[in-house]
Structure 1
């Protein structure tokens, strides 16, 4: 499969890139800093500004799938910057007629109790509020549109650098926890779940989640 990964050098994007290449896919890494991506067989590296919709449209043209691991963390107004970038990504995927868009989502929109999401909980960490709001708004935008086929994968509440085990659970809108009450997933296993979805298309136009 020919896959474009936006933000391929990032915390989650690098794990997605490694997993996709390990499965034999052709990967087009779309990044702001090409020097941050390690050269590898099956990988082409392109410098692209996600805010430039026309350039992004050209960059993703011809691929079978776009995975967005775009992050707005470098801007002071994380939520607004993220949504500006995501709107550009969504429009570029529509303009170029890419069959599917997969989005690295957030955990904050998951329900910890019926009708109650983590984002609205009183003890939600302020440091992550901007990125959580952006990811939540992106999910609402995807649900509201019908021009692009999509899937949105929320990680567990804690996602950390770690080994690939291949042993995890998938869910939908509810936060999942383990026997100790913790909600965790490694970046490597998150990448496995995302690439499984890329290959199997089991959650079309749906948000799903992954956790141990």
Structure 2
């Protein structure tokens, strides 16, 4: 009887341990695919988002740099002071230009001239020409801007030649081109043609001195403050 009890106990212990060891030897089943899916999607989305965010960052940096860099465009709501010089006849004087909006502006030139130059010390005519101007558009690129314009106003001419002295007022039209440069964004160079009706001074010989009417070609320089 004593021999039967130990044998029974040993058999019972083996039967209890055998299932546990069998479960331990079984291979561990992989985690469900559903559990791994969120991690996989996060990796894919992270890789897809990284180039896009990098490109967006470069675009923002380029935009900020272009805003900091001066361009060659017009100086709106800035006062332009400079000079006018005659190309079709000798003339020098101050000039003013102001662009009130992107398209509309005003300007005025006050030119003094003589026969060929001022070596004789005689100013034989004075031209004051205030006009309204309208920009046709802006062409070119960030380095060089080309702005054609046209307008109209008045031409006041004071002529003093020998014994003849007279003041003439008549309508005038202008057309020109304003050039801007990125290197000097506040400095503008222009070429302008001014047209007015012919004068009624057929009885007077003005020689080489220009008459109050007709066409006048000028070069202009303005610095905008």
TM-score normalised according to structure 1 size: 0.20
Name the structure where strand makes up a greater proportion of residues.
2
Rg bigger for which structure? 2
TM-score normalised to structure 2 length: 0.19
